[in-house]
């Protein structure tokens, strides 16, 4: 069982970037928490961060072709609202994906209220800071424990 965590643009600046909005937890701390949680449930995690849209698309396509990735947790960050390319790559991948955001995008500027990527994801979790990522991992853990024979997380409600 393997989950790919994709961090979009500027997520590498967490901890110092707008802490009032994004908190003080760093990307590395988020990754470490996810790795610990996943490991406790026999789920391997891998991580990717890029500020470049095409690199994110390539990573999603690579995951799809590898057949080793069973789920994706993605924070597309600003690309949430602009990237048809990432949306199309997620849709084509057929990998169960959960979109996460640290802040509650619906309490922010109006342009952040529309996600291009969410409609091709199983769900979206936002507004819980770094815990948003852990909640997404818990969704995969729960689905895996409910359906031990399935590695595609199709049982996610």
Q: List the catalytic residues.
A: 22, 101
User: What DSSP string describes 3-64?
Assistant: EEEEE-TTGGGTTTS-HHHH-S--HHHHHHHHHHHHHHTT-EEEEEE-S-HHHHHHHHHHHH
The contacts found for 143-148 with CB under 8 angstroms, 24 or more apart, are 143/96, 144/1, 144/41, 144/43, 145/41
Q: 3-state class of 110 per DSSP?
A: helix
For the chain, how far is it from start to end, CA to CA, in angstroms?
A: 19
């Amino acid at each position: 069982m393997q989950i790919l965590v994709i961090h979009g643009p500027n997520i590498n600046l967490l901890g110092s970037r707008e802490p009032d909005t994004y908190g003080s937890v760093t990307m590395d701390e988020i990754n470490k928490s996810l790795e610990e949680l996943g490991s406790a449930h026999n789920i391997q995690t891998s991580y990717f961060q890029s500020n470049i849209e095409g690199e994110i698309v390539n990573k999603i396509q690579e995951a799809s072709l590898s057949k080793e990735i069973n789920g994706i947790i993605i924070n597309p960050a600003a690309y949430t609202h602009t990237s048809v390319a990432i949306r199309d790559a997620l849709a084509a991948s057929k990998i169960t994906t959960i979109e996460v955001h640290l802040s509650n995008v619906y309490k922010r500027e109006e342009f952040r209220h529309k996600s291009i990527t969410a409609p091709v994801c199983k769900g979206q979790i936002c507004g819980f800071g770094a815990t948003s990522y852990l909640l997404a991992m818990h969704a995969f853990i729960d689905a895996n424990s409910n359906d031990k024979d399935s590695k595609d997380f199709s049982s996610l409600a």
